[in-house]
Amino acid sequence: MGLPSPGPGPGVIVTSSRDGRVSREELAALARELGTVVVPRDDRPWPELLKRYGAQAALVLEKDGLVLRDAAGTLFFHPGMAHVRIKRLREGQSDRMVAAMDLSPGMTVLDCTLGLGADAIVAAYAVGSAGRVAGLEACAPLAALVRYGLTHYRGGTWLSEAMGRIEVAAGDHRRVLPRLPDGSYDVVYFDPMFRRPLVRSSGMAPLRHLVETAPLDPRSVAEALRVARRRVVLKERRDSAEFARLGFIPAEGGRYSPVAFGVRKKERGETA
């Protein structure tokens, strides 16, 4: 699909839990993937351990999975509301993101701001086994956490199948989009709200200092329109000035929801 391979994270080390039940080979492979190093897990408090190795965070491989840890706390992968949203779709109810994307089986989606992947999971369910979803995440440690979680999380069959259709790559969309061919995906999606949440969650604290917080820029939207065959969709706060600034038309629905989706349909002959 032309997506980048994982790159090194900003000051991230790889280690194991104190019980050390994971193999050295697993740790070494994860470190190679991120271009970083494996360090021993000793009895030092996390702030001291990170300071000792000049790291901002650690990816900790435990017997039950992978977690992201820093001095502020621990972040686990979880599909979040994706499970509930897919359950509603299976019951014949609608999903506002799926409607804004106008998804149907066999379509392809590029999520430029993957985050923890909940929207990508819902999109992967909507496009079915004949479709595909790719997710870009600028924070390499978070991309590694989500990639591992998508392949190891134990959920229902339909949830696991949707997760298995997502390709995760560490990369900044501002650098990746210009390298993709015209019409690479049916839909290109942005959710900058992951970086600026409506409610500050202590559970997200471990990655706030790692993630990209810059606003979406017009050039990225133009590149997304070139890469998209059908439309570009933006998730933002309701009544956000970003829709008008970037030329998106807010989609109808969700009258009482604090978030909204804006759409820019691909016009004939439109290029970057």
Tell me the per-residue pLDDT of 251-272, one tens digit each, with 9 for 90 and over: 876 677 888 999 999 876 555 4
The answer to whether domain 12-76 and domain 82-265 are alike in fold is yes
Structure confidence at residue 163 as a pLDDT band (50, 70, 90): very high
Q: Homologous superfamily of 82-265 in CATH?
A: Vaccinia Virus protein VP39 (3.40.50.150)
Q: Average pLDDT of 25-41?
A: 84
Q: Is the pLDDT of residue 186 over 90?
A: yes
Going by pLDDT thresholds of 50, 70 and 90, the confidence category of residue 199 is: very low
Give the Å distances, CA to CA, from 138 to 50, 97, 113: 21, 22, 8
Virtual torsion, Cα 190, 235, 240, 268, nearest 10 deg = 70
pLDDT in tens, 72-123: 788 889 998 999 999 999 999 999 999 999 999 999 999 999 989 999 999 9
Give 143 or 64, the one with higher predicted confidence: 143
Residues 6+ apart with CB under 8 A from 60: 14, 15, 16, 17, 41, 66, 67, 68, 69, 74
Distance set, CA 238 to CA 85, 108, 243, 255, 256 (Å)? 20, 26, 9, 9, 9
Residues 6+ apart with CB under 8 A from 257: 96, 238
The candidate with the shortest Cα–Cα distance to 79, out of 20, 155, 178, is: 155
- Residue with the bigger pLDDT between 196 and 57: it is 57
Distance CA 260, CA 239 (A): 8
219 band by pLDDT with thresholds 50, 70 and 90: very high
> What are the residue boundaries of the structural domains of the chain, listed by start?
12-76, 82-265
Judge whether 241 and 262 are in contact, CB under 8 Å: no
Q: What is the rounded CA–CA span in Å between residue 60 and residue 38? A: 10
Mean pLDDT of 232-253: 90
More confident residue, 30 or 116: 116
Q: Is the pLDDT of residue 36 over 90?
A: no
Q: Is the dihedral of CA 87, 101, 246, 249 positive or negative?
A: negative
Alpha-carbon span 104 to 183, nearest angstrom: 17
User: Given this model, what pLDDT does residue 205 score?
Assistant: 57
Q: Is the model's pLDDT at 3 over the cut of 60?
A: yes
Q: Tell me: domain 12-76, CATH 3.40.50.10480, correct?
A: yes
Residue 249 scores a pLDDT above 70: yes
